[in-house]
Amino acid sequence: MGLIDRLDAGDPRALPRLLTLIENRDPAGLSALNVLYPRGGRAHVVGITGPPGSGKSTLVAALIAAIRASGRTVAVLAIDPSSPVTGGAVLGDRIRMMELHADPGVFIRSMASRGRVGGLAPAAAGAVAALDAAGFPIILVETVGTGQDGIDIITLAQTVVVVQVPGLGDGVQAIKAGQLEVGDLLVVNKCDLPGSETLARLLRQSAEDLGTEGWDVPVLPISAATGDGLPDLLGAIDRHRSYLLASGEGDRRSSAAASAAVMTGLRAAIERRIAAGSSEAIARLLDDVAARRMTPDSAVAGLLAALDRAPGSGHPVGDQRGG
């Protein structure tokens, strides 16, 4: 039986297998995506981002429980840009502690980027597309910070939750530039610890400059460890989803995400080619630049021309011939 048939038949091993194939850029995975991609577009993809140790994995585990309690299934993609284990391991421990691992309505996948050449962003996008097509109504994506290793959470997620914690420094100056800007919701986690009220006050000031037409960015104090504030957070996540659908902002983000996905895919494809040195034309151009026979600018023009001459690989999704 083919992978998609197994997926459709509810074989629990089919989805992990598909994600491995997609991660490895195996032709079988990419061709399955061609079939699956048109089925997607219904999931609410929620990014959970914030500095290391802010409690993202703890929060994800707590959200899983809350989402399950609301009667929905949920998938999680934990992206760890540096290490192949930590993020997923911590999350895995939490899940075991909460006895969620035996629940077929919860699917968790970790993805690491070590040693990958220009490939994490497309792999993550492919994984989200597969989880979406598999029918999960909500997909949580955990990532550290923003833009790290090419993972730009706003190109993956429709709703971005930025997690901050007290005690990392004095005030908003200590928060890295650009960290708050991507947030549709700002969370002050570890509100059981001192300093969270001060931080929440500072974030509320910053939040006044954020948001999109018709959406004011809320600042929500929570404790992922005790569950305090969790229902409010899930409520706000669901409210943002309704806002996206009603306001047209969701469509606007989908278009932006589509163009970003193509551009990052293109960049990754070029990087892979150069790394693989598969094209002699590319290798020759790089040699010419190193030997100062050619400027970098001319080499870029030459590379683009070489890509033009390469056999076309673009084909509409759903068309299995090209897979």
Ligand X SMILES: Nc1nc2c(ncn2[C@@H]2O[C@H](COP(=O)(O)OP(=O)(O)OP(=O)(O)O)[C@@H](O)[C@H]2O)c(=O)[nH]1
> Closest CB to ligand X among 168 and 310?
168
CA dist 320 and 177 (Å) reads: 44
**Closer residue to ligand X in complex, CB, 161/299:** 161
Residue 225 interacting partner from ligand X, Mg ion, none (CB closer than 5 to 8 Å by kind): ligand X
Interaction residues for Mg ion, span 34-93 (CB under 5 A): 56-57, 87
Q: Contact at 8 Å (CB) between 141 and 153?
A: yes
Measured from the CB atom, the residue of 4 and 225 that comes closer to ligand X is 225
Q: Report, in Å, the least distance between residue 61 CB and ligand X.
A: 8
CA distance 230 to 187: 10
Closer residue to ligand X, CB minimum distance, 192 or 251: 192
In the bound complex, what is the minimum distance in angstroms from residue 195's beta carbon to ligand X? 12
Minimum CB distance to ligand X, residue 220 (Å): 12
To ligand X, the closest distance from the beta carbon of 319 in angstroms equals 39
- Binding partner of residue 135 among Mg ion, ligand X, none, CB cut-off 5 to 8 Å per kind: none
User: 10 Å Cβ neighbour count for 135?
Assistant: 13
Question: CA-to-CA distance for 79 and 143, rounded, in angstroms?
Answer: 5
Nearest to 154, CA basis, from 247, 252, 57, 245: 252
d(CA 232, CA 220): 8
Indicate the SS3 state at residue 187. Answer: strand
| Distance in Å, CB of 218 to ligand X, minimum | 18
Residue closer to ligand X (CB basis): 168 or 301: 168
Judged by DSSP in three states, 67 sits in helix
Number of residues that bind Mg ion (CB under 5 A): 3
Encoded amino acid at 78, one letter: A
How far is CA 296 from each of CA 166, 223, 270, 306, rounded to the nearest angstrom? 47, 52, 16, 15
Which stretches of the chain bind ligand X, using CB under 6 A? Answer: 50, 52-58, 86-87, 90, 144, 189-190, 192-193, 223-225
**CA distance linking residue 114 with residue 110, whole number of Å:** 13
182 makes contact, choosing from ligand X, Mg ion, none, with CB < 5 to 8 Å by partner type, with: none
Q: Which is nearer to ligand X, 108 or 134 (CB)?
A: 108
The residue whose Cβ lies closest to Mg ion is 57
Q: How far is the CB of 224 from ligand X (least distance, A)?
A: 4
52 binds, among Mg ion, ligand X, none (CB under 5 to 8 A by kind): ligand X
Nearer residue to ligand X within complex by CB, 199 or 224: 224
Residue nearest to ligand X (CB): 55
> Which regions of the chain does DSSP assign to beta strands (E)?
44-50, 74-80, 106-112, 138-144, 159-164, 185-188, 219-221
Q: Which does 192 bind (CB under 5 to 8 A by kind): ligand X, Mg ion, none?
A: ligand X
Give the integer Cα–Cα distance in Å for 80 and 116. 12
Q: Which residues bind Mg ion (CB under 5 A)?
A: 56-57, 87
